[in-house]
Chain A
Amino acid sequence: MVVGAGAYAATNWSVALNAGSKGQAQSASVANLTISAIAVPAAVNQAYPGGYGDAVLTIHNTSTAPVTITAVSLPTSTTYAPGYSNSTLTTATACTSSVTWRFSTTTSGSSHTLTTPLIVGANSTLTVTLINDITMATTAPVTCTSNYFKMPSLTAVTATAGAGTPTASPTTDGWTA
């Protein structure tokens, strides 16, 4: 990932999406990162009207090199959580329409620095609980109780090179502004 030369040198990485789109690597390749919602470990802080809650997820790095994530970019503060439905999780539409990311702004892609950079090792999965980074509106209906909800898509993350020792999994992190 690092190129030095006596003259100008450049290296590009283009990485394919899991959805199936392809990228090209001119002189190296970096495999996909994958973020997944998970139910275990459970959120320590669960969201209630006017309060905050945790988001729990995994970050999977299929690259042969570690990646250090330093910040996340959020959707707008008016983009609410979609419902979540699978074999174990329930859907509560009225509830999810009142849930969004904490500190999100009206600007899509607002960047928020993680309290601690996350280093995801090569070919590794890191489980992360984002502490109190979900906010639930004061008007959230009682149908929210005991329900899970899928958070809206993050729009980007910021990563840097020069990763050190991978973060031990599971871990906790988050953003405070």
Chain B
Amino acid sequence: MRRPRSFTTRWPRAAGRYLAIGVAAVVVGYGGTALATSWTVSLNTGSSAQGQAPATPPPPATPTATCATGATVKVTWTAVTGAKTYTAYRGPSTTGPWTSIGTATAPTVTVTSGTLTAGTYYFAVTMTTNDAAWPTSVQSTASGSRTITGSTCA
């Protein structure tokens, strides 16, 4: 018969110190059988971990460009936690040059029929965060291409 027991120890906090953990455990056996053990381990107030903030927020994921009715292209991407607005861009290659095609709060922009002249287009997106003072994010990598021919999209 196994009967684990556990409890929490409460060590005095050590102000100004960190990185330490106090441990206590009790193991109780009954009837000569093997035992299980569990600890709840208290930490000093200064136990540490760290994070880092970027110089520029990370890019949204690569958008997806799909053909809608006629020569309309719908550009969508995965929503980013913390994003306030997105700006989508089009370009003639995966490296641009880029031209803004719209700003939205939802992760989708539709380029309506007639906006795009004949040619091949790639799409990318940036985001702003809720704090307007922060810089605009890094631009995403480019979507796959869509080709506009007359009134059709492929």
Interface of A toward B, CB cutoff 8 Å: 1-6, 8-21, 23, 30, 32-39, 42-43, 45-57, 73, 81, 84, 89, 92, 95, 99, 130, 134, 136, 138-142, 144-151, 153-162
Contacts and interface: CB of A to CB of B under 8 A. Distances in A.
Contact of A139 (B47, B51, B130): B130
Contacts of A32: 20-23
Contact of B22 (A4, A5, A15, A47): A15
A124 to B, nearest CB: 15
Bin the interface of chain B by size: 35 or more
A46 B51 contact: yes
Nearest to B41: A157
Chain A interface, >50% SS class = loop
A139 B81 CA distance: 14
B118 interface: no
A158 B39 contact: yes
B42 A35 contact: no
Interface stretch (B27-35, B95-103, B108-116): B27-35
Interface string B1-43: 0000000110110100111111111111111111111111111
